[in-house]
Every structure is written in structure tokens, then in C-alpha cells.
Amino acid sequence: MTLDKRLTCIEFYCGIGGMHYALKEIQPESEVRAAVDINPSALTIYAHNFPTTSILNNNIQSFQAEKLDKLNADLWTMSPPCQPFTKKGLQKGHEDERCESLKVLLDQLVLMERPPRFIFLENVVGFESSEMHEELLDRLWSKGYIFEEFILCPTQFGVPNRRPRYYLLCRRRRNNEPIRTERIKKEPPVPSLVPDPIGNFIEKINDEDESLRLPQKSCEKFRAALSVVSSQSRTSACFTKSYTHYLTGCGSFYDIQGDSTDCETNKIKETEIEGLKIRRLTPREVANLMCFPAEFQQPPNSSDKQMYKTLGNSVNVRVVSLLLKYLLSQ
């Protein structure tokens, strides 16, 4: 399929629309025929930014093969629940009830008369070693798909943010095309880039916002564990939905002064402890690091807390757009 064809898509587990933005970046005339999710906060943000897209607040288990055939999309994108596979979770994997929707979707895919030509899936590292992963690949093989698997990080695409993720790129096998089996790749199918400095993603106007500042006592207490970046840093910690709930393990903070942290380690210098000026990143700045475009907006009725939580569950738009471009050119 050439990228000049008007592509149609169903966006399962759509979240706030990261996959939609990635598709629009490579093919502006593409049509997302349905965006599906059950998270009301995410759908509010999605609807605000894509007001003309048909949004279905449905359990994916309700989709039958006949309905999917009628939608007749070229591409399915999806980022299924990652909690069954995260290191911080219970790691119940295939037995976790949050896998049920993906199982049902695969059941219906097998029954379809007009299955999508392409499927793009993203999940956390750890999914690739799960029983759910094996079931997914078995179903795709049985329906005539071939695929490539990657574990990649935005830092490989010029983005100063660590967010390693598993990506599955599938397309229907052509007649007489040989079946390929390859190991999961850890190098992108496009040239790697040196990450840009964090300063390119920061809004300086927020530096004096006292509501974003971390208390001096918190900086002192958690100094060794905090991830703190300056404008010259070229990496930052993975942002999760718990950013602002906890100080560690959920994302990076910003050194306003710029000389209190070590750009190599993203740690506060031992000599710099008095008078630290460190703040949270704003939702817009987190969105910048997730490569959401400038037109992506926070709805008036969505709180910062909802924005942080949904961004933490989203995808990196630049990574997805480049991988989709590669997939659709096959």
C-alpha cells in the first residue's frame, strides 16, 4: 500500500489519540472510522482534539466480526492494557481479566471476512514474554499475517525521554510470500538520532509558577532518588500515570537554575542543596516529550491530574509515526 492512498483505521484502546496523531502525521487524509475506549477522562480529551471522529465508549468485547467487517478498515491500531505485564503490577498476564478484551478481539478477527491489511500494537516491555503474546502471534499466523517485533525507546528517535516499549507491526501475507520468523529487534528500521536537549521541549514561562515547585525539604529528602533534568539534559525518566502522586519512579523534574544537576546522571549535585529551584513539568511539557503536536489541547473541563494520568498511559507520537510509515510502505 502506498501512502498516497486514503487509509482507513480503527483505533482500539484509543486513549487520548496518540495513534491518531501519528497516523495524521504521515497521512493527513487518513480516516479513523472509529476510536474505541472505556476511559471517560481519556475520551473527553480525545473528543476535544478530534471532534469529528466517531468515538465509541464501548467494551471491546461487544464487537462482533460482522460489525468489524462493516467498518472495513485498512489498519487497526491498539495499545491494550499494560497492567497485566508491568513490573510494578501483579504480572498475572494471560489470566488477568484486563486481557479479556484483546482475547475477544482476536476471536472476532479470526472470524472476519474482511480483516484489516495492517495491525499495529504497542505495549510495555514484558508483554513479549507473556502467554498473551504467544496467543496473539498464534492467531495472527492462523489468519495469514506476517509481522516484525521491536523493543524500542524514544531516545533512539531523537527524543530525550526513556520510554522503552514493545511494538508489533503486522500485515497480511501476500500470495506465495515466504513466511518470515525473526527475533525481536532492538534497533529501529529507520536511522537512529541523537536526542535533542530537554530545553527544546520546555516552556520557560512556567519557571516562576510556585504551584509547580517542589518543597526544599522534599528535594533534600529524596535527592538521591529524584530524576532532575536541566535544559541541556538529553534524557529524562519515563512518565507514568502516577506523576505528581509520587516523587520517584514516575518521571523527571526540571532544574530551573540549570546548574544544580548533573546532565549525565540527572541527579542533584551533592554541592547543590541549598536554595534549589526544582519544579514539576506541566502537562503541556510532558505532551511535548511524548511528541504530541502543538495543536493538542487540554480541554477546559479536564484537570491537570487527568492530563498527567492519561499522558502516562499514552504512546510517543514520533516513534509510532515512524514505525507506521515503515509498516505501511511494506
CA angle 173, 8, 174 (to 5 degrees): 10
In whole angstroms, what is the distance from residue 203 CA to residue 187 CA? 31
Instruction: Based on the residue annotation, tell me whether 153 is a catalytic residue of this protein.
Output: no
Q: Which residue has the cell 502537562?
A: 283
Q: Is 63 in contact with 104 (CB distance < 8 Å)?
A: yes
Q: Which residue has the cell 469529528?
A: 52
Catalytic residue among 9, 82, 99, 153: 82
| Per-residue burial over 177-191, b = 16 or more CB atoms within 10 Å of its CB, e = otherwise | eeeeeeeeeeebbee
Instruction: Output DSSP code: residue 272.
Output: -
In whole angstroms, what is the distance from residue 157 CA to residue 326 CA? 14
Cα dist from 144 to 18, 81, 174, 268, whole Å: 28, 25, 9, 53
Other Cβ atoms less than 10 A from the Cβ of 325: the count is: 17
Cα dist from 209 to 71, 205, 291, whole Å: 47, 8, 23
Q: State the catalytic residues.
A: 82
